[in-house]
Chains A and B, each alone.
Chain A
């Protein structure tokens, strides 16, 4: 049933023993294009993006989106692209701590693993492959689906080189990428899985993900990120999602960065007529993380459901800017983000709903951000509404709460010690979101990890 497709890596002349480290600069930009034998348009796009990167300042801390996350703490000097080719003989060659991130192969339609930016493992279920479903390294896909990629490449409102210095950096030096293409009308039988892993020599993560679901197709991607960093490292990641007319697309985005990783990610979904987009985002790791998460409902009948959970502990700092953009009538968006804060953590949620004049008529937008504090942590929630249309139903709300004493007493009265009672209640707080993730293996893994963290 499962077969390994062609796993030949582009010959970039490096091995694990001779991994090359590229410093950021115009030479490195050109070298990446050389190594991957990229088409001229990509060479040009990288070059222009590098020029933009050099010309741009870091985001202004006075800007609303950056007011509460101090980029001075980011290890911007340690920027480096690590080129290493590591081919695995099988999924069981993965380090055990990463292996469990992957669901059993018979439960997925395909899986793709990147280690330190290099494609290290790929499988695809035969039936899905025969239907034309592609899950492949973006460097390879540039050769097979170059025109398709070119047609959409970094044209989003946020997923464009000029959005900020980090998207420019990704556009110029992206290295390692996940590409998905689902032909019109094709339903991918089981979830696809992508694992982006970096070990102690991983360097900056500049992964780029592009999902193109053609009209009437159906696909789920579970994308997970793990790292083992020995020093402060940067993550500058971009995710672009296109849900064609009538498509159903689910993107489960998980991150388990090490406590040394500082991240800026920009993720945007463009949802076409009568398409459904389901987003589940789970953030567990990282020292400081800033996410821009945006769904654009561009045509009538588009729907998006964004859900997120996080559990931060120690001195983690998590900052999320979400954007629900309505550009057509009869569009519905719903957002539910829940954070659990332990120890001296801080979270920022900046949620915007914008309804354009042309979205008048049966448009609905909801947004809720709930924070559960287990300590003297701080949660900031700043909801925003920009409604320029009539006949629109909108609501938003944010809450900050602590564990309810009566709930805790009830559990304690049934024999659970206080910390266990608290852990159970806190896990219950985010369970409605965890339940939106497919595959029991993935849900269980996340729940176990959260339970484990409770005792740290």
Chain B
């Protein structure tokens, strides 16, 4: 039960960015992936989620043994993969409520039970409103979010902290098996970071979720403790160790790893 990445090579517009990534994220485990800017960390996270811009030239991505590469992004999400984005996209006119209702319903398979012809009008592809509303209220309280948020447009005009809280709220509703956190600490002050991290830790326990925490700095790792730490430089993992590796990196910087490679 894991996310397995085998010899993954990825190119963007003909230029190779990922040069053979090997990584296994077990359910319940926390893997940290640390690397300098421009090393390809975000390319990895977008590739795993299926962004069409990234072309896989070689390798495998498996989730519980099933290949993700042939799946569309929505199929991957329904299969249990979640990407908390560094820059959540604003979608004007779509209220947070209607989005959460649609996404939760889709991931829980309500849409698949509905013939296309009867969609829309009767909202038959959506989870029953009362049931959804109740669960949503609990999760909103858990993330200390004001219900007034639900009527705002998705991520539009949200502060950095509000965006990240909304990402974790989505994670709580979609209940993934594996979650990738892409620079989740960026743009968060210390209180927001604590709240978001506690949310993630609780969800990990409840869902036995595997975490891939992608970060430049150690900051978030003070709150979300990694079992395994990978150092990512120039499109591949160059070093793997336990949590102590974080402190070494913080002291000596990525230059130390680069020299070690030389």
The finding on whether chains A and B are genuine partners in a shared complex, rather than unrelated, reads yes
Task: Please list the residues of chain A having a beta carbon within 8 angstroms of any beta carbon in chain B.
Answer: 404-407, 409-418, 420-421, 423-425, 427-432, 448-449, 451-455
**Residues of A contacting B33 with CB < 8 Å?**
none
Smallest CB separation, A118 vs chain B (Å): 29
- Residue of chain A at shortest CB distance from B90: A407
**Residues of A contacting B91 with CB < 8 Å?**
407, 410-411, 424-425, 428
Smallest CB separation, A411 vs chain B (Å): 7
Of B57-65, B99-107, B240-248, the one with at least 4 CB within 8 A of chain A: B99-107
Q: For the complex, what is the distance from the CA of A410 to the CA of B88, rounded to whole Å?
A: 8
Extra 20 A-B pairs, beta carbons < 8 Å, given A411-B91, A420-B111, A454-B120 = A407-B89, A407-B90, A409-B51, A409-B52, A409-B89, A414-B99, A414-B107, A415-B74, A415-B78, A416-B102, A420-B102, A421-B74, A424-B94, A425-B93, A425-B94, A427-B94, A428-B92, A448-B121, A448-B123, A451-B120
Contacts known (A413-B77, A420-B102); A449 close to B121, Cβ less than 8 A? yes
**Residues of A contacting B120 with CB < 8 Å?**
423, 448, 451-455
Smallest CB separation, B29 vs chain A (Å): 22
**Residues of B contacting A452 with CB < 8 Å?**
119-121
**B49 at interface (Cβ–Cβ under 8 A)?**
yes
Q: For the complex, what is the distance from the CA of A431 to the CA of B120, rounded to whole Å?
A: 16
The one of B72, B89, B93, B119 in contact with A418, judged by C-beta atoms closer than 8 angstroms, is B72
**Residues of B contacting A429 with CB < 8 Å?**
92-93
Smallest CB separation, B118 vs chain A (Å): 9
Q: For the complex, what is the distance from the CA of A376 to the CA of B95, rounded to whole Å?
A: 28
Task: Show 11 A/B contacts (Cβ-Cβ < 8 Å), sorted by A.
Answer: A410-B91, A411-B99, A412-B73, A413-B49, A413-B83, A414-B103, A415-B77, A418-B72, A424-B102, A425-B91, A453-B120
Say whether B174 contacts A432, CB under 8 Å. Answer: no
**B170 at interface (Cβ–Cβ under 8 A)?**
yes
The one of A407, A414, A424, A428 in contact with B174, judged by C-beta atoms closer than 8 angstroms, is A414
Q: For the complex, what is the distance from the CA of A454 to the CA of B120, rounded to whole Å?
A: 8
**Residues of B contacting A448 with CB < 8 Å?**
120-121, 123
Contacts known (A409-B73, A428-B93, A431-B93); A415 close to B103, Cβ less than 8 A? yes
The one of A412, A427, A449, A454 in contact with B93, judged by C-beta atoms closer than 8 angstroms, is A427
Say whether B93 contacts A415, CB under 8 Å. Answer: no
Contacts known (A424-B99, A425-B91); A415 close to B174, Cβ less than 8 A? yes
Smallest CB separation, B26 vs chain A (Å): 22
- Residue of chain B at shortest CB distance from A412: B73
Q: For the complex, what is the distance from the CA of A425 to the CA of B92, rounded to whole Å?
A: 8
Say whether A417 contacts B94, CB under 8 Å. Answer: no
- Residue of chain A at shortest CB distance from B79: A415
Q: For the complex, what is the distance from the CA of A453 to the CA of B88, rounded to whole Å?
A: 29
Say whether A411 contacts B103, CB under 8 Å. Answer: yes
**B116 at interface (Cβ–Cβ under 8 A)?**
yes
Smallest CB separation, B177 vs chain A (Å): 13
Say whether B116 contacts A455, CB under 8 Å. Answer: yes
Say whether A412 contacts B74, CB under 8 Å. Answer: yes
Smallest CB separation, B78 vs chain A (Å): 5
**Residues of B contacting A432 with CB < 8 Å?**
92-93
Interface of B is mostly: mixed
- Residue of chain B at shortest CB distance from A435: B93
Smallest CB separation, A141 vs chain B (Å): 36
Q: For the complex, what is the distance from the CA of A423 to the CA of B98, rounded to whole Å?
A: 12
- Residue of chain A at shortest CB distance from B98: A424
Say whether B94 contacts A415, CB under 8 Å. Answer: no
The one of A405, A416, A449 in contact with B106, judged by C-beta atoms closer than 8 angstroms, is A416
Smallest CB separation, A94 vs chain B (Å): 18
Say whether B94 contacts A428, CB under 8 Å. Answer: yes
**B85 at interface (Cβ–Cβ under 8 A)?**
yes
- Residue of chain B at shortest CB distance from A451: B120
**B117 at interface (Cβ–Cβ under 8 A)?**
yes
Say whether B117 contacts A416, CB under 8 Å. Answer: no
Say whether A413 contacts B106, CB under 8 Å. Answer: no
**Residues of A contacting B77 with CB < 8 Å?**
412-415
Interface centre among A410, A415, A452 (most CB of B within 10 A): A415
**B132 at interface (Cβ–Cβ under 8 A)?**
no
Say whether B153 contacts A428, CB under 8 Å. Answer: yes
Name the interface residues of B99-141: CB closer than 8 Å to any CB of A: 99, 102-103, 106-107, 111, 116-117, 119-121, 123, 125
**Residues of B contacting A427 with CB < 8 Å?**
93-94
Smallest CB separation, A427 vs chain B (Å): 7
Smallest CB separation, B44 vs chain A (Å): 15
- Residue of chain A at shortest CB distance from B85: A410
**Residues of B contacting A453 with CB < 8 Å?**
120
Smallest CB separation, A93 vs chain B (Å): 23
**Residues of B contacting A430 with CB < 8 Å?**
93
Pick the 6 closest A-B CB pairs, nearest first: A428-B93, A451-B120, A431-B93, A452-B120, A415-B77, A415-B107
Q: For the complex, what is the distance from the CA of A449 to the CA of B121, rounded to whole Å?
A: 6
Over the window 210-225 of chain B, the binary record of Cβ atoms lying under 8 Å from chain A Cβ atoms (1 yes, 0 no) is 0000000000000000
**Residues of A contacting B111 with CB < 8 Å?**
417, 420
**Residues of A contacting B123 with CB < 8 Å?**
448
Q: For the complex, what is the distance from the CA of A430 to the CA of B94, rounded to whole Å?
A: 10
Smallest CB separation, B186 vs chain A (Å): 17
Q: For the complex, what is the distance from the CA of A407 to the CA of B121, rounded to whole Å?
A: 24
Smallest CB separation, A452 vs chain B (Å): 4
Smallest CB separation, B168 vs chain A (Å): 13
**Residues of A contacting B92 with CB < 8 Å?**
428-429, 432
Q: For the complex, what is the distance from the CA of A448 to the CA of B95, rounded to whole Å?
A: 15
Q: For the complex, what is the distance from the CA of A453 to the CA of B128, rounded to whole Å?
A: 22
